[in-house]
Amino acid sequence: MSEHELAGWIELDGFRLTHTEIATILRDRPSDMLRCGGEFYIEGGGCRARDHFGVMQGACAKGTFTYENGIAGKIIPDVKDMSLEEAIVTAVKLRSDEGVTALSGGVDSTLVACLAGRECMAVGLEGSHDLRQAKHAADKLDLTCTLVEIPPADIAEALPLVIGTIPKKDPVNTGIALTQFFITRWAGEYGYRRIITGQAADEIFGGYSRYLETDTLEADLLRDFAGLEQQAERDQSIAALHGTYLSMPYLDMRVVCAARKIPAAEKVQGTRRKVPLRMVAERFIGPELAWYEKKAMQYGSGVAKELSSLARKNGYKTSVQDYIDHISRVEHGH
């Protein structure tokens, strides 16, 4: 497209649109943009539009469309009613024509990796849990997976840039963003723009351990789902440093709609979390991988431990937050 700049990709009625098709829609049937799904930000020729959930970053609110002829409105993808399994399969298929899958060995990313069938990659410090589990999952499913060891010195070097990039500067967000930094750096170096991930599954299906203790599970899930917008801003800002972006099949409208029909009590049962997702995953990756309990990425990769070690080495023995604040002040004047 000459006059419209597109980041990401757009689909309508389950079909990926080419640049030519998008240009035709904007010229002849601009109101059709209000029904489009995908992960996109498009601007130019008097148009601005951004995907419904705000997966892609852009200079307008998520899920909004404005056009020079006065057409404006909310973008709500028009999707068919599907079972959870069909929704996940469709969402991954739409995203797997290119890119690399970030694999950690947990059910979220392993199911996506299996369905996408693309090259995978995993990051972690030497001997980390995620490198071991990703290799195990890839070997079991006969997937190609590059294991990327993170040198501790690279974490110290990347930390100021990461802290200066992310909006919320606390230990959890910094640890996650550091891990994403090395995922997206590797992808960018090897020519991948799209990185297919398993993110958002915890918020949609009930994956956090705190859900086992709550009496307000439905409300907690809704609150955490609303927080995904901030997570996307954090992660995509890191990905953009390397000319890449994260693609999230679980944040497909089909998947979200199918998941919302499932009562919260069916998502977390006794000591089991993400039960509906694991039941779907069993059929593709087998029960061992489907029911495996994995640590969060900043812990599984070893990055959080190294961040704590760096804080101690720099005189912040009791507070990683104080160390982050120090770097933010020294490097960025915040």
Instruction: State both tokens at 193.
Output: 């723009």
pLDDT of residue 69: 65
In whole angstroms, what is the distance from residue 187 CA to residue 207 CA?
A: 27
Q: DSSP strand E in the chain: where? A: 5-12, 15-16, 37-44, 47-50, 64-66, 72-74, 100-102, 120-124, 145-149, 194-196, 245-247
- DSSP code for 14: T
Q: What confidence category does residue 24 fall into, taking pLDDT thresholds of 50, 70 and 90?
A: very high
Shared domain for 94 and 41, answered yes or no, is no
Residue in the block written with tokens 């590059």? 146
Tell me, yes or no, whether 307 lies in a domain.
Answer: no
Tell me, yes or no, whether 326 lies in a domain.
Answer: no
Query: Which of 51, 74, 97 represents a domain boundary (last residue)?
Result: 74
Looking at the 3D structure of the chain, how many domains does it have?
A: 2
Shared domain for 59 and 126, answered yes or no, is no
Shared domain for 154 and 280, answered yes or no, is yes
Q: What angle do CA 37, 43, 48 make, to 5 degrees?
A: 65
pLDDT of residue 165: 96
Tell me, yes or no, whether 46 lies in a domain.
Answer: yes
Q: What angle do CA 112, 99, 14 make, to 5 degrees?
A: 65
Shared domain for 168 and 221, answered yes or no, is yes
Shared domain for 155 and 255, answered yes or no, is yes
Shared domain for 248 and 143, answered yes or no, is yes
Tell me, yes or no, whether 322 lies in a domain.
Answer: no
Q: In this structure, is the dihedral angle defined by the CA atoms of residues 11, 17, 19 and 23, taken in order, positive or negative?
A: negative
In whole angstroms, what is the distance from residue 172 CA to residue 267 CA?
A: 24
| 37-44 vs 15-16, strand pairing mode | unpaired
Please give the model's pTM, rounded to 2 decimal places.
Answer: 0.94
Tell me, yes or no, whether 325 lies in a domain.
Answer: no
CB 280 within 8 A of CB 85: yes
pLDDT of residue 1: 36
CA distances from 53 to 77, 145, 166, 310 (A): 10, 29, 19, 36
Q: 279-329 pLDDT, tens per residue? A: 999 999 999 999 999 888 889 899 999 999 999 999 998 899 999 999 988
Query: Which of 53, 74, 95 represents a domain boundary (last residue)?
Result: 74
Average pLDDT over residues 11-37: 94
Q: 114-148 pLDDT, tens per residue? A: 999 999 999 999 999 999 999 999 999 999 999 99
Q: What confidence category does residue 45 fall into, taking pLDDT thresholds of 50, 70 and 90?
A: confident
| 100-102 vs 72-74, strand pairing mode | unpaired
Shared domain for 224 and 190, answered yes or no, is yes
Tell me, yes or no, whether 203 lies in a domain.
Answer: yes
In whole angstroms, what is the distance from residue 166 CA to residue 56 CA?
A: 15
Tell me, yes or no, whether 317 lies in a domain.
Answer: no
Q: What confidence category does residue 41 fall into, taking pLDDT thresholds of 50, 70 and 90?
A: very high
CB 245 within 8 A of CB 8: yes
Q: What is the mean pLDDT of the chain?
A: 94
DSSP output for 218-255: HHHHHHHHHTHHHHHHHHHHHHHTTT-EEE-GGGSHHH
Q: Is the pLDDT of residue 62 over 60?
A: yes
In whole angstroms, what is the distance from residue 208 CA to residue 62 CA?
A: 26
Q: DSSP strand E in 88-234: where? A: 100-102, 120-124, 145-149, 194-196
| CATH number reported for the structural domain that contains residue 110 in this entry | 3.40.50.620
Shared domain for 61 and 88, answered yes or no, is no
Residues in CB range of 150: below 8 A, 6 or more apart: 123, 124, 125, 182, 301, 302, 303
Shared domain for 50 and 194, answered yes or no, is no
Q: Is the pLDDT of residue 207 over 70?
A: yes
Shared domain for 194 and 261, answered yes or no, is yes
Query: Which of 30, 54, 74 represents a domain boundary (last residue)?
Result: 74
Tell me, yes or no, whether 224 lies in a domain.
Answer: yes
- DSSP code for 293: -
Average pLDDT over residues 98-102: 97
Shared domain for 32 and 155, answered yes or no, is no
Contacts 24+ apart (CB under 8 A), 316-320: 320/171, 320/174
Burial class (CB in 10 A: 0-12, 13-18, 19+), 40: buried
Shared domain for 93 and 144, answered yes or no, is yes
pLDDT of residue 333: 58
pLDDT of residue 2: 47
In this structure, how many other beta carbons lie within 10 angstroms of the beta carbon of residue 331? 13
Q: 177-197 pLDDT, tens per residue? A: 999 999 999 999 999 999 999
Q: 209-258 pLDDT, tens per residue? A: 999 999 999 999 999 999 999 999 999 999 999 999 999 999 999 999 99
Domain residues for the domain of 57 are 5-74
